[in-house]
Chains A and B, each alone.
Chain A
Amino acid sequence: MNGWLMRTLLGRIGGLALTLFLASVVIFSALLLTPGDPIAALAGGAKPTPELVAQIRAEYHLDDPIWARYLQWLGGVLTGDFGRSFVYQTDVLGLIAPRFAVTLQLVLLTVVMILIAGVGSGILAATRGPAVDRAVGLLTALGMALPTFVVAILLIWVFAKSLGWFPVYGEGAPGLDRFWHLVLPAASLAVMFIAYISRVTRSSLVAQLHSEHVETARVRGIPRGRIFRVHVFRNAAPQILAISGTTIAGLFAAAAIAEQAFGLGGIGSLLTEAAARKDLPVVQLVSLLLVTIFVVLNAVADLVSALIDPDSVNAGRPA
């Protein structure tokens, strides 16, 4: 079991490194190949003369071949030098770190909401009879249909403007104030994912509830609660976890919409601004960060499912 786990782990880490490498190549070349020019950002608002343009191009190696620029960039990244922002003329890492903290807090709060409401309502739908099932089904259909920005507008309207319970803008000061500022953005971000996780949870549980071994357990007179914990939920958990892992990873990218709607200074809003201004070093690092989070969270979700139920992983693989 331990040897198997080590192998899985090593294989995972190897795959992870390879994925990240490929992702960095794709991100880097895609950015260089997109139309538009960072000169406007670099010239800092002045109307650049041809001489200034030439000077900037030389200074930032804009005319070097893509592979040379990639290697230079990769070398920097590996030695902890992530470059300077074209727009702000400051260290990219320093620019990203505080914003990443905001996004991370937003995502964590969203995850808590998703797991409680999503898994909770899925369990209710699967176990509390057809009326509850239908009600949850209806709500989740609605939840999946509502785009995040629409939910944001609704939430702002009801809870911020009409009731005045929550602030409508900004990330607030760290601590309780921050938490208070993040409730509505997290809720608007969570709605669609709650609906999704709820449906996944329900269908996994229903599949287990109708499986043979549960029938057998029931016939043998094992108490309902125990059947649910040991036979149903445990078997359904890996699938729920795997889906949750991808979902949570996707939240980092989806956060941009909530950040925009609530004026949060997070990583998503930074990415959209930087992309529009062609601030390549910022876009590169944020994209790489998002890919890394996605890949790592996926791997973690896989490993955790494997730990809960090794068979589920082995079953999916050719021996």
Chain B
Amino acid sequence: MTRIAPTAVLALGAAAALALTACAPRDGGGGGEALAPPELVTALPAATTPVDEVTWSIVEGEPATLDPVSSANLIIPNLCDNLLSLQPDFSVEPGIATSAEWADPTTFVIELRDDVTFWDGSPVTAEDVVYSLERNRSPESQWFSAFALVTGIAASGPHEVTVTFSAPDSTFRDALAGQGGAVMSAAFGAGAGDGLGTSEAGLMCTGPYELAADGWTPGSEIVTTANPDYWNGAPLVDTLRYVFVSDASTLATALTEGEIDGALNVSPSSRAAFEGEGAGRLVVGPSTASYSFGPASAEGPAANPDIRRALSLAIDREQYIDTVLNGLGEVQRTIVPEFTFQELSAADVYQEGYDALAAPGVDLDTATQLVEDSGEDVSEPLVLAVPAGATEFKNTAQIVQSAAKQIGLTIEIDEMQASDFGAMFYDASAREGIDLVATQGYLETPGVLGYPSLFMLPEELGGVFNWSGYANADVTAHMQAARTATDERTAAQEFVAAQEIFAPDMLQVTLAGAYQLSYVNDGLTGITSSVAMYSSPWALHLGGE
């Protein structure tokens, strides 16, 4: 599954405040002060000391709902367990499901632990799992695409669930380690109705932290408490309180002063503040997140792969990483990042395919030639849409703009308000007049197909962001073969074959892989610090050192 985050960082006057405290973008030419490459950590050592209360800031702002089916945020993973358990290194282990395997090419059997209870003490049954998985079979679910080939979900025993498919699906098992595999109480869900997951109706899950009936004060805070009966051992932090500070400079001050104990996804623009003297430390973890831009329309130069290749050849990735990510990222060869597949059994096949791709490099002559030979009319400026208010995207837009200028392309930047930017993703009319869109996205579970499926397949096969109408029969065939392969090596080989073709077409011009950044108070340890935090209880081992 892939997530595109339209990153809604909003503030009145905050953008200006950032400019004063953040590091100013540097010119690539100067280059004397190289930033030290950070050490990547997937998780901090587990805590040993209990802590009464920890205050954590959710950088993305307050979620609209805590229902795992309709929201992806960093609070839910501590509340609701998924069937399989995603580890910090992005490997998948048993969780509430002791095993989840293919019985035959189209039958998938899930065996459940018999000792797991919801917060209210009621045991988790096969019916609860059927209820939870069924909810994802509606297109309204965020995780619908993982269930696209499912034809039936039924309890086949008190602790066994059988899922049947119209075709084999090599992506399904790993998807159960994500929120699509979240287990919720059927009885509670029936009682809560449409309000499930809101501050009024609440939630009933099995996770290490419980949401009390009055735990969520909308517009203010969400208070969760340790689940003493958690099947995987109770957490050490008694009360985990979430607050919502999205302004990067306010957050950096509150964190370094120790008034907020920690935050995930902190801004790389605050690196200097985080690495200076302060109450805590910056933890850098591996991630699947990347910054990229791609075509928003089937018309015009942006829909031409040559123009995108030219733009890619004009952009200095090292300079991009230094400027936008303050050095906290890495050059990425294509849309699918390495961390996604490194724990898969066919990792060697994926790695070989990845290494065979050309590393992005600067070549202005070739780029200019590509633009000239493309036959496109480039007299009109290309409009690049970015979400307003976020420094990272503002800098991204400026870098793309000045790189394009060097090769004879004019880019006009359109900074869009969060709601307008978000609308582009489902409303074609909101994309009118836009040629290119810059985004940041990440994959929250292992598996390589999510990202390319969204951008390269025809719309009816899941290419919901395939706005340029890209259609390559070979890519589609290999991608489909990869999904329906019954053994992992075949799946990997098919994917690599597709990637060989689609990578040079740059349906997304990948700018950089971004590391997972967390800031944690010095007294605390134990968090998951890799991108696995989106799908696993990152605070389970949180506590004092």
A-side residues, CB < 8 A to B, are 35-41, 43-49, 52-53, 85, 87-90, 94-95, 98-99, 147-150, 152-153, 156, 160-161, 167-170, 256-257, 260-263, 265, 268, 270, 272-273, 276-278
Contact = CB atoms under 8 A, between A and B. Distances in A.
B8 A276 contact: yes
Interface hub of A45, A87, A99 (most chain B Cβ within 10 A) = A45
A94 B536 CA distance: 33
Given A169-B253, A260-B250, A276-B10, A150 B20 contact: yes
Contact of A41 (B64, B198, B250): B64
Contacts of B418: 276-277
Contact of B200 (A89, A153, A261): A89
Contacts of A156: 253
A257 B253 contact: no
Nearest to B6: A40
Contact of B10 (A35, A45, A95, A273): A273
B11 A37 contact: no
A47 B464 contact: yes
A264 to B, nearest CB: 10
A85 B63 CA distance: 13
Contacts of B380: none
9 contacts: A36-B423, A88-B62, A88-B198, A90-B218, A160-B253, A167-B257, A260-B247, A272-B11, A277-B419
B64 A260 contact: no
Interface string B216-229: 01111000000000
Contacts of A276: 8, 10, 389, 417-419
Given A45-B71, A85-B218, A276-B8, A39 B423 contact: yes
Contact of A261 (B13, B139, B199): B13
A256 B13 CA distance: 9
A41 B16 CA distance: 27
B148 to A, nearest CB: 13
A273 B14 CA distance: 12
Nearest to B278: A161
5 interchain residue pairs of minimum CB distance: A169-B254, A40-B422, A276-B10, A278-B419, A36-B419
A149 B17 contact: yes
Given A37-B419, A169-B253, A153 B65 contact: no
Given A95-B219, A160-B257, 12 more contacts: A40-B426, A45-B71, A88-B219, A89-B195, A147-B13, A148-B13, A167-B257, A169-B257, A260-B13, A261-B250, A262-B250, A273-B10
Contacts, number: 150
B59 to A, nearest CB: 12
Contacts of B183: none
A168 to B, nearest CB: 5
Given A37-B419, A39-B423, A44-B64, A169 B245 contact: yes
A84 to B, nearest CB: 10
B10 A47 contact: no
Interface in B312-365: none
Given A149-B16, A169-B259, A273-B10, A47 B420 contact: no
A44 B426 contact: no
A94 B249 CA distance: 29
B99 interface: no
A89 B198 contact: yes
Nearest to B198: A89
A265 B20 CA distance: 23
B247 to A, nearest CB: 6
B33 interface: no
Contacts of B423: 36-37, 39-40
B61 interface: yes
B254 A98 contact: no
Interface string B4-38: 00001011111011001100000000000000000
A153 B419 contact: no
Contacts of A90: 198-200, 218
Contact of B140 (A46, A99, A147): A46
Contacts of B420: 35-37
Interface in B381-430: 389, 417-420, 422-423, 425-427, 430
B70 interface: yes
Interface in B181-224: 195, 198-200, 217-220
B52 to A, nearest CB: 15
Contacts of B464: 47
B130 interface: no
Contact of A265 (B14, B142, B219): B219
B219 A99 contact: yes
Contact of A95 (B12, B218, B427): B218
A160 to B, nearest CB: 7
Interface string B136-175: 0001111000000000000000000000000000000000
Nearest to A37: B423
B129 interface: no
B12 A88 contact: no
Nearest to B71: A45
Interface string B260-283: 100000000000000000000000
B112 interface: no
Nearest to A266: B219
B311 interface: no
A98 B221 CA distance: 12
Contact of B259 (A94, A150, A167, A256): A167
A170 B254 contact: yes
Contacts of B141: 46
Contacts of A89: 64-65, 195, 198-200
Contacts of B247: 260-261, 263
A272 B259 contact: no
B74 interface: no
Given A37-B427, A168-B253, A169-B250, A263 B200 contact: no
A298 B330 CA distance: 57
Given A95-B219, A153-B20, A170-B259, A88 B64 contact: yes
A154 B48 CA distance: 39
Contacts of B10: 272-273, 276
A177 to B, nearest CB: 12
A200 B217 CA distance: 43
B90 to A, nearest CB: 23
B531 to A, nearest CB: 19
Nearest to B219: A95
Contact of B13 (A46, A257, A278): A257
Contacts of A40: 419, 422-423, 426
- Looking at A37, A49, A260, the one whose CB has the most chain B CB atoms below 10 A away is A260
Contacts of B75: none
A272 B426 contact: no
A16 B530 CA distance: 57
Contacts of B64: 41, 44-45, 87-89
